[in-house]
Amino acid sequence: MSTNGSTNIFLPVSDLTDLLTRIFIRNGVSRDSAGILAANCAWCERDGSLSHGIFRMPGYVATLKSGWVDGCAKATTEIAGAAFLRVDAQNGFAQPAWQDSLPQVFKMVSEQGVAVVAIRNSHHFSALWPDLEPLADKGLIALSMVTGLACVAPYGGRRPVFGTNPIAFATPVADAHPMIFDFATSSISNGDLRIAAKSGHQIPPESGIDASGNLSADPSAILSGGALLPFGGHKGAAISLMVEILASGLTGGLFSSEVDFSSHPGAESPRTGQVIIAIDPQRGGNGAFERRVRQLIDTVRDAGQTRLPSDRRYRTRELALSNGIPLSQEQHEALLAMAG
Ligand code: NDP
């Protein structure tokens, strides 16, 4: 769905959520899961996380139509230890599986101080911050990682092994919204790579390699048998390796390099795994965690970092909540057509 076009409609979040729910239901998603996926997508659009807002709807629909994902899957959950939940999403989307396990997660964290949730056989096609914000809103620290489709080469490697493997971290902050960062561990996102290729723009030279393994700033060369690189050289590559180990190895999901949807033309979402770790900071040592984080963040701002992760999102959210979510006429019409 094009993100171009003039902005001339402002939809309340609830209206956009209802419209997206209709699209999911029309494409074979159960009512409960449709509501969860629609809210997730609408929140991304509301907060200006546009790479995972309505832009993704054609991909969701194509993936559902291809039969690669089960929109009616009902996740199964096993208690694998006092603080360990094992979730099989049964080839459904990760978010409904995560939502189902939330009551158990809160119970585990209150009893044990920590919960590790290992979700496998799941499709994640969105940003990670919506998964974590409800935990941080309740005073918990949270960390999540997801594997994807192999398009990132390991350090010094010549072919893709890793997904863009995002990692997100959320912490409560005294008298403020939680601070959440959430980004891919690749040099740039796959979506940005494709946009650059389409528009004929070069990307920074350390971002990828061509089919011969040479550094390349040409997105088309990277897409034709080359690979993206992890951010931050060998350090980012090690973090991406860790994401594979925790989000796929630990959970029992497929590694990014094992995903094969070639028999489902139109499929776009990876069927891999997701790990989420929730920690009660009150179990830590200083008894004043949220105030200490606030103090640290204030020190960081004082030192000159004017924008911290999630600042922009909360500002965008505030505007959307008072004015509505800005959409072009073209985007709105495309959504209405998808909803039938
Ligand atoms: P970005 O490089 O845009 O970085 C996003 C994060 O960094 C946000 O927390 C953002 O805060 C913060 N940030 C950005 N710029 C600044 C700045 N100048 N100063 C301080 N903080 C800053 O993200 P990516 O393109 O790597 O990833 C975008 C999204 O894609 C993520 O939500 C990720 O989860 C998702 N993704 C999902 C995948 C999947 O398989 N499901 C695969 C890969 C990515 P803010 O939000 O406030 O701008």
Whose alpha carbon is nearest atom 37 of ligand 1? Answer: 127
Q: Are residues 56 and 94 in the same domain?
A: no
Q: Are residues 165 and 125 in the same domain?
A: yes
Segments forming the whole domain that contains residue 271: 74-186+230-308
Q: Is residue 192 in a domain?
A: no
Q: Are residues 314 and 284 in the same domain?
A: no
Paired sense of beta strands 84-93 and 114-123, if any:
parallel
Does ligand 1 lie within 6 Å of residue 139's CB atom? no
Q: Are residues 154 and 8 in the same domain?
A: no
Tell me if ipTM is over 0.95: yes
> If you ran DSSP here, which 8-state letter would residue 74 be given?
-
Q: Are residues 243 and 335 in the same domain?
A: no
Distance CA 5, CA 7 (A): 6
Q: Are residues 285 and 248 in the same domain?
A: yes
The answer to whether residue 51 is catalytic is yes
Catalytic residue, candidates 47, 131, 192, 280:
192
Check if the beta carbon of residue 267 is closer than 8 Å to that of residue 148. no
Q: How far is the CA of 169 from the centre of ligand 1 (A)?
A: 11
Q: How far is the CA of 112 from the centre of ligand 1 (A)?
A: 31
Does ligand 1 lie within 6 Å of residue 181's CB atom? yes
Task: Please give the tally of structural domains in the chain.
Answer: 2
Q: Is residue 210 in a domain?
A: no
Give the per-residue pLDDT at 190: 84
Check if the beta carbon of residue 193 is closer than 8 Å to that of residue 219. yes
Q: Is residue 220 in a domain?
A: no
Whose alpha carbon is nearest atom 2 of ligand 1? Answer: 183
Does ligand 1 lie within 6 Å of residue 186's CB atom? no
Matching residue, tokens 């409904």: 96
The answer to whether residue 177 is catalytic is no
Distance CA 111, CA 53 (A): 36
| Integer angstrom CA distances of residue 150 from 6, 155, 160, 207, 323 | 35, 14, 5, 15, 39
Largest separation between any pair of C-alpha atoms in the chain: 55
Q: What is the pLDDT along the chain (340 residues), one digit of tens a residue?
A: 655 557 789 999 999 999 999 999 999 999 999 999 999 999 999 999 999 999 999 999 999 999 999 999 999 999 999 999 999 999 999 999 999 999 999 999 999 999 999 999 999 999 999 999 999 999 999 999 999 999 999 999 999 999 999 999 999 999 999 999 999 999 998 888 888 898 899 999 889 999 999 999 999 999 999 999 999 999 999 999 999 999 999 999 999 999 999 999 999 999 999 999 999 999 999 889 999 999 999 999 999 999 999 999 999 999 999 999 999 999 999 999 999 9
Q: Is residue 174 in a domain?
A: yes
Q: Are residues 171 and 269 in the same domain?
A: yes
Q: Is residue 218 in a domain?
A: no
Both tokens assigned to 1: 């769905």
Give the per-residue pLDDT at 192: 84
Q: Is residue 154 in a domain?
A: yes
The answer to whether residue 52 is catalytic is yes
- Could you tell me how far CA 98 lies from the centroid of its own chain? 13
113's CB contacts (< 8 A; 6+ apart) are 83, 279, 280, 283
Provide the CATH number for the domain around residue 158: 3.30.1370.60
Q: Are residues 25 and 97 in the same domain?
A: no
Q: Are residues 319 and 303 in the same domain?
A: no
Q: Are residues 143 and 172 in the same domain?
A: yes
H/E stretch holding 292 reads helix 289-302
Instruction: Indicate left, alpha or beta for 199 from its phi (over 0: left) and psi (-120 to 50: alpha).
Output: alpha
Q: Is residue 212 in a domain?
A: no
Distance CA 252, CA 263 (A): 22
Look at residues 247, 181, 193 and name the one whose alpha carbon lies nearest to residue 220.
193
Does ligand 1 lie within 6 Å of residue 66's CB atom? no
Distance CA 93, CA 301 (A): 38
Q: Are residues 27 and 100 in the same domain?
A: no
Give the per-residue pLDDT at 5: 57
The three-state (H, E, C) secondary structure of 225-239, written as one string: CCEECECCHHHHHHH
Q: Are residues 121 and 10 in the same domain?
A: no
Q: Is residue 92 in a domain?
A: yes
Provide the CATH number for the domain around residue 62: 1.10.1530.10
Check if the beta carbon of residue 218 is closer than 8 Å to that of residue 248. no
